[in-house]
Amino acid sequence: QIEGTEIPADVNAVYEIVINGISVDAVGKATAAGIKAAVTIPGVKSITAGNYGGTLGPHKFNLHDLL
């Protein structure tokens, strides 16, 4: 594990992807497409989302609901 994080020792990289869009629907569709593409990559161990206490904006996307 990387000291001071919850990242497991067998994880070599962590990507944070920000999606901006013209509508809630567009962001939801883009997020779903990204998840569907990511799960086809060998070695991907986890896909999560941060909320940051709601400080990023008024919309919250539940990843399971998008798929």
Q: What is the count of structural domains for the chain?
A: 1
pLDDT > 80? residue 2: no
pLDDT > 90? residue 3: no
Residue 1, domain extent: 1-60
Residue 19 lies in a domain: yes
Instruction: Return the pLDDT at 48.
Output: 92
Residue 3 lies in a domain: yes
Instruction: Return the pLDDT at 64.
Output: 94
Report the 10 Å Cβ neighbour count for 10: 8
Torsion over CA: 31, 34, 29, 20 (sign): positive
Residue 67 lies in a domain: no
Instruction: Return the pLDDT at 55.
Output: 86
Residue 33 lies in a domain: yes
Give Cα 6 to chain centroid, integer Å: 16
Token couple for 63:
């990843």
Long-range contacts of 56-65 (CB under 8 A, 24+ apart): 59/24, 59/27, 61/27, 61/28, 61/31, 63/31, 63/35
pLDDT mean over 2-6: 84
User: Using one digit for the tens of pLDDT, what is the confidence trace for 16-53?
Assistant: 999 999 999 999 999 999 999 999 999 999 999 887 88
Residue 66 lies in a domain: no
Residue 32 lies in a domain: yes
Residue 12 lies in a domain: yes
